[in-house]
Amino acid sequence: MVEQQSGRWQTPAEVRAAARSGRLTGQTSGLAPGFAQANLVFLPQALAADFLLFCQRNPKPCPLLDVTSPGDPIPRRVAPTADLRTDAPRYRVWREGELVAEPTDLLDLWRDDLVGFVIGCSFTFESALLRAGVPVRHIELGCNVPMFRTNVPCEPAGIFQGPLVVSMRPMTPADAIRAVQVTSRYPAVHGAPVHLGFPEQIGIADLQRPDYGEPVPLRPGELPVFWACGVTPQSVLMAAKPPLAITHSPGCMFVTDLKDEQLAVG
Amino acid sequence: MVEQQSGRWQTPAEVRAAARSGRLTGQTSGLAPGFAQANLVFLPQALAADFLLFCQRNPKPCPLLDVTSPGDPIPRRVAPTADLRTDAPRYRVWREGELVAEPTDLLDLWRDDLVGFVIGCSFTFESALLRAGVPVRHIELGCNVPMFRTNVPCEPAGIFQGPLVVSMRPMTPADAIRAVQVTSRYPAVHGAPVHLGFPEQIGIADLQRPDYGEPVPLRPGELPVFWACGVTPQSVLMAAKPPLAITHSPGCMFVTDLKDEQLAVG
C-alpha cells in the first residue's frame, strides 16, 4: 500500500541500504515514494525456464520487470547497484511448497544456480489512482488489500499452473471508469482490471472472506473492481511444490530504481 | 449505427452528393465506412453564443467538431467541400420547441445569421468497439440504441439547460473494461462512459423503457454501460424553445471528411 506516511528512507538506495543493514525488516509501504516496488521470486535454474515461460504467458498477474542470470544477485535492468540477496527487508523460503524460514537475507542460502525474478507490484498503480483522485479503500483503512483465488486458470507452463489470484478494490461507478483509464497506463504493474461487478462470475463466493489480505467493506452503490495480483506466482509456486523456491515476505517489497512514471505508457 | 452493410456510397463526398441530389433521404448508418458522421444543430446568431458556451461546458454530450461563421453553410474544418444546407439526408425544423417540418434541405429556410454546429457522434466509437472485438447489442439486433434522460444536470449556459441524455450498451464485465479503454481514445465523440452498473444512480428507473431509441435486452451477468449522448443538445433545444432551431433528423447524419482514426488520441 502506498500510504501517505513520511518514510524515514526517501530514495530506493536508502531503503535498500536499510534492508541490507538490518535496520529495515518490515513493510515497505510508503517508503521511497514515486519509485516502483516489486515482488521477488527466486528459483533454481532447472525450474527457472518454466517459470519464465509461465510469466510470459500470464503477463497480467506476473509482469516481469527484470530476470537475473543464474547466480547473479544483481537486477541489472531495474537497480544495477542493488543486491537481491540482501536488499529486500524479509524473505520467505519454501521447500516442497512449505514455508520453512523467513530470513532477512539470503546470503547463507544463495546458490550459483538461483535465478531472480523481479515482478511488478500494484503499489505503482495505487499511487497513480490516488494522484488521479480515486480513493483506494484498503489504503484509507490502513489494512492490506483483499485478495481472492478465482476460478480463472492461468496459462500453464511446465510444472507451474493454478488459478489467477486477484485483488479487489470497491469503487463508485465513476471511479471504476476512471480506474480503468488510469491503470491501463501501467501494463507493467498488472494494468487494467480483469473484472468488475460480478464476483461470482470469476468464482468468488464471499467478498468478506478473502483468501489473502484483509476484507474491506463494499458500500451500497459501489462495484467490486478486480485486478490480477502478484500473489498469483506465490500461489502457483506453493502448488507446484518445487524442492526450493524463495520469495519476498508479503509487504516487504524490493524497491527498484524505476520511477513509477517510467512504467506508464501513453 | 455502424452496421457492416455495404453502402452504395463509399466516400463522404459520394454520400453528401447523394443527399444533396435527393437520392439519399434516410439513415446514413454504414455509409462511407471509416469516416466520422456527425450531429448537426443550427441556431440564429443571437442564440449561437450561448449554445457554443453550452457545448464548451458540456463536452461529453456535445463534442464540437466544427462551428461555422454566421450565414456560412460550409463546415471548413471537417468538410471544406460540403454545404450543410443540403448535404445531410434530412433535417428537422423546430419552432418554439415544436417540430414543424422535416425537409431534405434547408435552401428555403437559410438565413444569413444561422450558425451551424457539427457535433461528434457515437458511430465513431461504435466502429472502434467492433474493430476491438467488443459486440454492440443494438447493432447486432439492427435497432436504434436505447437512450435515457438522466437526473444528471448539464452545466447551463444562457437559456440552455437540462439533463444529460445517455445511450446504453449492455456488456459483459470484460467487454465493459475493454470498452472504457477503447472509447477513452475518442474524446471528440463522447469519450469514455459516464456510468456503468447502477442505472438508478443516474435516475433511470427502467432500462426497458428508454426515452429515445429502442430497448435492448440486458442479459444475466451483463452490466449496463452508459455514454453521454448527442441527443442531449436536441433535448436541451426542445426545452429552451427558441424561435427557430434546426437539427439533422435522427440517424440521418452529416458525413464529414474526418477519418474516425483522426479523432483518436493515444
Instruction: Taking residues B116-120, report their average pLDDT.
Output: 96
B166 touches chain A (CB under 8 A): no
Cα–chain center distance at B153: 19
pLDDT at A250 (0 to 100): 87
Sorting pLDDT into bands at 50, 70 and 90, what band is B115?
A: very high
pLDDT at B7 (0 to 100): 57
Q: What is the ipTM of this complex?
A: 0.81
pLDDT at A2 (0 to 100): 39
Instruction: Taking residues B37-46, report their average pLDDT.
Output: 96
Instruction: Taking residues B157-182, report their average pLDDT.
Output: 96
Question: Measured between alpha carbons, how far is B83 from B110 in angstroms, rounded to an integer?
Answer: 12
pLDDT in tens, B213-240: 999 999 999 999 999 999 999 889 989 9
Domain regions of chain B by residue span: 33-121+240-260, 123-233
Sorting pLDDT into bands at 50, 70 and 90, what band is A29?
A: confident
Interface with chain A: mutation pick from B168, B172, B180, B218, highest number of A CBs within 10 Å: B180
pLDDT in tens, A159-168: 999 999 999 9
pLDDT at B154 over 90: yes
Residues in chain A: 266
Sorting pLDDT into bands at 50, 70 and 90, what band is A37?
A: very high
* Strand locations in chain B (E): 35-44, 64-67, 91-95, 98-101, 114-120, 147-153, 163-171, 195-196, 223-228, 245-248, 254-259
pLDDT in tens, A104-163: 999 999 999 999 999 999 999 999 999 999 999 999 998 889 999 999 999 999 999 999
Sorting pLDDT into bands at 50, 70 and 90, what band is A21?
A: very high
For residue A198, the chain B residues in CB contact (below 8 A) are: 173, 221, 223
Which three-class secondary structure string do you get for B240-263? HCCCCEEEECCCCCEEEEEEHHHH
pLDDT at A1 over 90: no
Average pLDDT, chain B: 94
Distance from CA of B15 to the nearest CA of A (A): 35
Sorting pLDDT into bands at 50, 70 and 90, what band is A244?
A: very high
B151 contacts B158 by C-beta, under 8 angstroms? no
Q: What percentage of residues in chain B have a pLDDT greater than 70?
A: 97
Instruction: Taking residues B130-144, report their average pLDDT.
Output: 94
Please name the fold of domain A14-21+36-122+233-260: PSTPO5379-like (3.40.1640)
Collapse the DSSP code of B89 into the 3-class scheme (helix H, G, I; strand E, B; otherwise coil) and give the result: coil
- Letter for the amino acid at A16? R
- Provide the phi-psi class of A142: left if phi over 0, else alpha when psi is between -120 and 50, else beta: left
In terms of Cα–Cα distance, which of A154, A137, A135 is closest to A145?
Answer: A137
A42 contacts A110 by C-beta, under 8 angstroms? no
Contact yes or no for B177 and A180 at CB 8 A: yes
Instruction: Taking residues B13-18, report their average pLDDT.
Output: 97
Distance from CA of B110 to the nearest CA of A (A): 42
pLDDT at B3 over 60: no
- A125-232 CATH choice from 3.30.420.140, 3.40.50.1000, 3.90.850.10, 3.30.2040.10: 3.30.2040.10
pTM here? 0.87
pLDDT in tens, A38-93: 999 999 999 999 999 999 999 999 999 999 999 999 999 999 999 999 999 999 99
pLDDT at B30 (0 to 100): 86
pLDDT at A3 over 90: no
pLDDT at B246 (0 to 100): 97
Contact yes or no for B196 and A173 at CB 8 A: yes
Please name the fold of domain B123-233: PSTPO5379-like fold (3.30.2040)
pLDDT at B2 over 60: no
Nearest to B192 among A177, A223, A266 (CB): A177
pLDDT at A139 (0 to 100): 92
Please name the fold of domain B33-121+240-260: PSTPO5379-like (3.40.1640)
